Amino acid sequence: MTAATAPTPSTTSAPARSRGVTIALWTLQVLLGLVFVVGSGAPKLFGEAYAVQIFTDLGAGQWLRHVVGVLEVAGGIGLLVPRLAGLAAACLVALMVGATGAQLFFLSEGFWYTPVILGVLLGVVTWVRRAEIPQTFAR
């Protein structure tokens, strides 16, 4: 008979953070979550004229607008769920890389800096929560 061992705290919990860092991180996550759900994803899903025009200019079809809208809303909600926040931020960074490329190479509007700024902020969340991302897959 083998004795069961208790899991070590380092494998089951998030790294310890100061109260100030935790508050700043959650403030950033909530603001980014609102940006992606309300400011970016929902207009794409509801067919706001500007969003429709952007994807028409891309030439990829409106199906891509719906896919990106769903990904942005899901990522924005994921930023608000403690277990998913790191993974959601990492996925949204990848989405912002694609958005930056689309802005730079396919659209003439020139708003490439918006996805870059959002990507950097999401990168901060990803970096701070990097130890939690593998735990998401282990659950």
Please give the model's pTM, rounded to 2 decimal places. 0.85
Q: How many domains is the chain built from?
A: 1
Q: Is the dihedral of CA 114, 36, 79, 58 positive or negative?
A: negative
Mean pLDDT of 53-65: 91
Residue pLDDT, tens place only, 9-41: 445 556 788 999 999 999 999 999 999 999 999
Range of the domain at 91: 19-138
Assigned domain for 11 exists: no
Q: Is residue 5 situated within a structural domain?
A: no
4 belongs to a structural domain = no
DSSP conformational letter for 8: P
The pLDDT of residue 10 is 46
- Burial of residue 45 (number of CB atoms within 10 Å: 0-12, 13-18, 19+): middle
3 located within any domain: no
**7: DSSP letter:** P
